[in-house]
């Protein structure tokens, strides 16, 4: 399957099931999207569904069979690859008639795209041989959007045989998922997120597709999701020393994004993008030289001298003007639009009940919680059925969830074999421990809330796909967990794919009537709130490490504000009123930060 960059935006991975078959819905229009492959049971269920829907013979890969996890992933990715190619074949055969899929392909393109201009020219031509020639040229230009996959590096549970014997390390969750992608027919990218996993990085060396072919090109590429430049260059060098090239750095806002929130030490998206902009060329050359040097040592082909290093960005983008600014000022190769596509039934898997709740939600319904068993803050939705179920269990005196899939079982505080902190087993043991500690009521309540906040994500983040596609779950858990970014609060209703794409390119405005600040201000506000929470958690008692961290946090926020003040003169597409409001917002936030004093470190260890 051939792919090309028809659009300058992509749809990032969302949850376990929300984008699990998004490529089958958008790739035929040239739109890139990312699939989560961590949940192999759901992957197998979706493969069965799409085989049946397309009259393809389905042969089950049973749980517990040899290397079932990797084989399921490979089979599903191969199926998507084949189905997208068939979609393109059908598209190319269509007549250029109003309402046709082939016309939709070109109508969705950005206005500045050369193919869009050719399409418009073709439509205005009179019937004849020249028009037919141009139509043939347009048909041949149709390429699919990428079918990329995501692996959370730290979600790497050790697996066991049915008799309880531990399987070899290459059968762990992350490594077997990597193997499933590496052995597939796809020529696309692997998105590595959620931290550094040395074993996973080393395992990349086992597969030839991650190394250059005789022409110096890569069949499978690496996209590294990062939150700052330091992380990018550190991990880039680690992989370059293995001869592995990072084709793209996908910069994500630390707080103004969906899913898990990896807050930086007060470093904001604008300054981070600026650092990439200023150092991109030197970073590319340094890593290319290092990578090629190690490829020679390993006896592999070298990368071409013109090998590109892409930089993309996602998190909180809400308007066409913001989208353009990121592309033009920072020279981003693409922007990620995630949470807004949850309101696009054509593109994502959101069940009817959750979709209605999202479409009518307000700003207070979105919040940062401690519900993730990974111990990382995660964006949550108060009206989700999973959150309603979690609270009901607490009221019944039975907090915690049954734990069937155990993907996030990492805790060994009470057991030899890891269990999940969202499980009923763990929360029961932890609450018994808490009850015996004889704490003051206020401290007890705080600790209690931290324990029972954890919720099941293995089931919750995949259940919506089952409900929407009427797939019977093998378990009794039906509640849906969803983790949209706070930016979704500014969108109300449900939209067609065309409407959302038109919004991204400025042909339509889907934002509600409520006030929405610039994306940089929205992220800064989230960081100011986060800073205040961290400051208050110390109750005035800080260690030297905590004191240094908070001082750096405050300093980075203030430096970020000064950067944005200077940046405002580059807002060429915005009105004077907009720029004035932007600067006023920055001044108010600066005052808010300046009032917060970081206490001196306590002499007593905290």
Give the sign of the dihedral formed by CA 13, CA 18, CA 20, CA 24: negative
Residue 155 belongs to some domain of the structure: yes
Whole-number Å distance between alpha carbons of 402 and 422: 9
Count CB neighbours of 410 within 10 A.
18
Classified as helix, coil or strand, 23 is helix
* Residue 352 is assigned to a structural domain of this protein: no
Distance separating the N- and C-terminal Cα atoms of the chain:
57
pLDDT tens digits for 214-242? Answer: 999 999 999 999 989 999 999 999 999 99
Alpha-carbon distances of 273 from 227, 266, 282, 331, rounded to whole Å: 10, 14, 15, 9
Choosing from 284, 312, 341, the residue where a domain stops is 341
* More confident call, 341 vs 572: 341
* H helix or E strand, kind and range, residue 244: none
Is 445 contained in some domain? Answer: no
Q: What is the pLDDT of residue 604?
A: 52
Question: What pLDDT is recorded for position 536?
Answer: 86
What is the bridge-based pairing of β-strands 366-369 and 334-336?
unpaired
Choosing from 306, 341, 376, the residue where a domain stops is 341
Least confident of 29-33, 178-182, 458-462, 580-584: 458-462
Residue 568 domain flag: yes
The DSSP code for 255 is S
Q: Does residue 53 lie in a domain region? A: yes
pLDDT in the model for residue 527: 96
Q: Is the predicted pLDDT of residue 329 greater than 90, yes or no?
A: yes
375 phi, psi to nearest 5 deg: 80, 15
528 domain residue, yes or no: yes
pLDDT at 153: 86
Q: How confident is the model at residue 319 (pLDDT cuts 50, 70, 90)?
A: very high
Instruction: Find the mean pLDDT for residues 46-71.
Output: 96
Q: Are 236 and 287 in contact (CB under 8 A)?
A: yes
pLDDT tier at 391 (50, 70, 90 boundaries)? very high
Per the structure, the count of domains in the chain is 2
**pLDDT tens string 196-213:** 899 999 999 999 999 999
CA 118 – CA 129 distance, rounded (Å)? 16
pLDDT tens for 464-487 read 999 999 998 776 678 999 999 999
Give the span between the Cα atoms of 565 and 568, in whole angstroms. 6
Cβ neighbours, 10 Å, residue 314 = 27
| Percentage, residues of the chain above pLDDT 90 | 82
% of residues, the chain, pLDDT over 70: 98
User: The domain containing residue 588 runs over which residues?
Assistant: 517-606
Predicted pLDDT at 539: 64
Give the chain's radius of gyration (CA, Å).
25
CA 181 to chain centre: 18
Contact 573, 324 (CB under 8 A): yes
Measured in degrees and rounded to the nearest 5, phi and psi for residue 86 equal -65, -40
Write down the mean pLDDT value for the chain. Answer: 93
Strands 310-314 and 189-193: unpaired
Res. 126: pLDDT tops 60:
yes
Could you tell me the two tokens for 379?
A: 């964006």
Domain end, chosen from 341, 369, 402, is at 341
* Residues in Cβ contact with 126 at an 8 Å cutoff, skipping those fewer than 6 apart: none
Distance CA 314, CA 294 (A): 32
CB-based contacts of 546, cutoff 8 Å, min separation 6: 538, 601, 606
Per-residue pLDDT at 292 exceeds 80: yes
CA quadruple 297, 299, 304, 308: dihedral positive or negative?
negative
d(CA 39, CA 140): 36
Please say if the pLDDT value at position 541 is more than 90: no
Answer yes or no: is 491 within a domain. no
Q: How confident is the model at residue 163 (pLDDT cuts 50, 70, 90)?
A: confident
Residue for token pair 């869009």? 116
Q: In whole angstroms, give the CA distance from residue 538 to residue 546.
A: 9
Strand pairing category for 189-193 and 334-336: unpaired
Query: How many angstroms separate the CA atoms of 152 and 173, rounded?
Result: 10
Residue at 133 is within a domain = no
Mean pLDDT of 12-21: 96
Say if residues 26 and 497 touch (Cβ distance below 8 Å).
Answer: yes
Contact of 547 with 258, CB cutoff 8 Å? no
Q: What is the mean pLDDT of residues 489-510?
A: 97
The CATH number covering residue 54 comes to 3.20.20
Q: Is it the case that residue 605 has pLDDT exceeding 80? A: no
Name, in order, each residue with C-beta under 8 angstroms of 127's C-beta and a sequence gap of 6 or more: none
């Amino acid at each position: 399957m051939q792919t090309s960059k028809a659009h300058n935006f992509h749809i990032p991975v969302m949850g376990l099931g929300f984008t699990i078959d998004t490529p089958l819905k958008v790739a035929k229009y040239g739109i890139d999207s990312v699939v989560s492959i961590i949940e192999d049971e759901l992957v197998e269920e979706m493969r069965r569904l799409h085989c049946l829907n397309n009259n393809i013979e389905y042969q089950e890969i049973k749980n517990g069979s040899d290397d079932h996890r990797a084989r399921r992933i490979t089979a599903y990715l191969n199926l998507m690859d084949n189905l997208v190619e068939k979609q393109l074949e059908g598209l190319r055969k269509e007549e250029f008639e109003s309402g046709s899929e082939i016309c939709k392909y070109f109508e969705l393109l950005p206005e500045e795209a050369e193919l869009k201009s050719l399409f418009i020219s073709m439509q205005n031509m009179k019937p004849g041989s020249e028009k037919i020639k141009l139509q043939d040229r347009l048909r041949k230009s149709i390429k699919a959007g990428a079918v990329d996959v995501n692996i959370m590096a730290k979600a790497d549970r050790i697996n066991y045989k049915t008799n309880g014997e531990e399987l070899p390390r290459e059968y762990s969750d992350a490594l077997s998922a990597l193997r499933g992608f590496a052995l597939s027919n796809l020529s696309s990218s692997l998105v590595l997120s959620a931290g550094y996993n040395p074993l996973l990085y080393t395992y990349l060396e086992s597969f030839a597709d991650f190394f250059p072919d005789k022409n110096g090109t890569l069949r499978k590429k690496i996209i590294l999701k990062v939150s700052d430049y330091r992380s990018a260059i550190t991990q880039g060098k680690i992989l370059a020393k293995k001869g592995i090239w990072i084709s793209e750095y996908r910069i994500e806002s630390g707080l103004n994004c969906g899913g898990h929130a990896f807050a930086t030490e007060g470093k904001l998206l604008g300054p981070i993008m600026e650092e990439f902009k200023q150092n991109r060329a030197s970073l590319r050359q340094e890593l290319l030289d290092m990578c090629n040097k190690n490829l020679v040592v390993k006896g592999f082909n070298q990368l071409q001298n013109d090998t590109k290093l892409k930089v993309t960005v996602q998190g909180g983008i809400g308007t066409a003007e913001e989208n353009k600014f990121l592309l033009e000022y920072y020279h981003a190769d693409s922007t990620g639009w995630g949470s807004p596509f949850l309101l696009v039934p054509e593109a994502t898997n959101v069940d009817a009940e959750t979709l209605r709740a999202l479409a009518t939600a307000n700003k207070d319904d979105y919040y940062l919680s401690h519900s993730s068993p990974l111990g990382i803050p995660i964006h949550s939705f108060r009206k989700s059925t999973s959150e309603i179920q979690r609270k009901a269990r607490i009221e019944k005196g039975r907090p915690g969830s049954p734990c069937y899939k155990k993907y996030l079982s990492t805790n060994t505080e009470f057991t030899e074999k890891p269990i999940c902190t969202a499980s009923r087993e763990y929360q029961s043991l932890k609450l018994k421990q808490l009850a015996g500690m004889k704490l003051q009521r206020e401290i007890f309540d705080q600790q209690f809330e931290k324990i029972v906040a954890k919720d099941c994500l293995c089931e919750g983040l995949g259940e919506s796909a089952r409900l929407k596609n009427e797939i019977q779950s093998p378990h009794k858990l039906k509640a849906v967990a969803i983790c949209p970014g706070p930016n979704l609060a500014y969108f109300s209703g449900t939209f067609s794919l065309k409407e959302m794409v038109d919004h991204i390119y400025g042909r339509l405005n889907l934002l509600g009537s409520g006030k929405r600040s610039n994306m940089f201000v929205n992220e800064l506000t989230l960081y100011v709130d986060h800073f205040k929470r961290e400051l208050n958690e110390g109750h005035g008692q800080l260690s030297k490490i905590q004191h240094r961290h908070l001082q750096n946090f405050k300093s980075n926020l203030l430096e970020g504000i000064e950067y944005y003040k200077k940046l405002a003169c580059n807002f060429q597409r915005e009105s004077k009123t907009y720029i004035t409001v932007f600067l006023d917002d920055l001044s108010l936030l600066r005052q808010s930060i300046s009032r917060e004093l970081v206490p001196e470190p306590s002499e007593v260890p905290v």
